[in-house]
Amino acid sequence: MNEGQAIIEVRELRKIYRVGDVDVAALRGLDLDVLPAEFLSIVGPSGSGKSTLFHIIGGLAPPTSGRVRVADGDLATMTEAGRTRLRRRTVSFVFQKFNLLPNLTARDNIAVARHLAGLELKPDAQFEEVVRLLGIARRLDHKPNALSGGEQQRVAIARAIVNHPAILLADEPTGNLDTENSKAVLEVLRDLNERLGQTILMITHNPEAAAYGHRTVHMRDGRIVDGD
């Protein structure tokens, strides 16, 4: 990838779902560029296409038409196996629901990502750096039910970034958290962006959360309507 080149490039992206006998357009010719190490906030009402955009960028769903380049991969022509590799090596997700495995400790929940990527499960310098930045080093031997909501979300973030993916997609990451824990998680995301150069795209309904990003774009009816 050339210096200054977008790490995500979306052109004329369209996604149509078939619901019964009706075609429903979730994305309608959307264009978007995201630079490496950018922290981009995406806001918009429910049904505006935000989650559909994330699912396509993350390789969870194919586009109906248009061009989507993520890192050096073209998702429009990528096979399902290629999209699986993209999710394991290039793009990671953090969701509103923490999705931690209840019978595993925080340490083992994080190790799951290393296992899926074919890496050694034992902690290394990369693992230690991530848990230190997230402030969960002393909570690694606890299972999810012994962690606060904010701690669980930080474990979920650690699992998402322990393999240093190029892109982190955060879909309403503070949606299940109170004000104090929301602020802590948002500050963690900002630190990851500033200290590790982590590219982050975050969906949020909260203008205060969106302000943690470098730039905010607004979506409506499957299109980007403005940005700053």
In a domain, 156, yes or no: yes
Summarised one tens digit per residue, pLDDT across range 195-224 is: 889 999 999 988 999 999 999 999 999 999
13-22 mean pLDDT: 91
Query: DSSP per residue over the chain, as a string?
Result: --TT--SEEEEEEEEEEEETTEEEEEEEEEEEEE-TT-EEEEE--TTSSHHHHHHHHTTSS--SEEEEEETTEETTT--HHHHHHHHHHTEEEEESS----TTS-HHHHHHHHHHHTT--SS--HHHHHHHHHHT-GGGTTS-GGGS-HHHHHHHHHHHHHTT--SEEEEESTTTTS-HHHHHHHHHHHHHHHHHH--EEEEE-S-HHHHTTSSEEEEEETTEEEEE-
In a domain, 29, yes or no: no
98-124 mean pLDDT: 81
In a domain, 72, yes or no: no
Please tell me the total count of domains within the chain. 1
In a domain, 85, yes or no: yes
Summarised one tens digit per residue, pLDDT across range 36-87 is: 999 999 999 988 999 999 999 999 888 999 999 998 888 878 888 888 888 8
Residue 221 maps to which CATH number? 3.40.50.300
pTM for the model stands at 0.89
**pLDDT at residue 1, rounded to an integer:** 43
In a domain, 18, yes or no: no
Summarised one tens digit per residue, pLDDT across range 159-170 is: 998 888 899 999
In a domain, 93, yes or no: yes
Question: Domain range holding 156?
Answer: 36-59+81-227
In a domain, 133, yes or no: yes
**pLDDT at residue 118, rounded to an integer:** 65
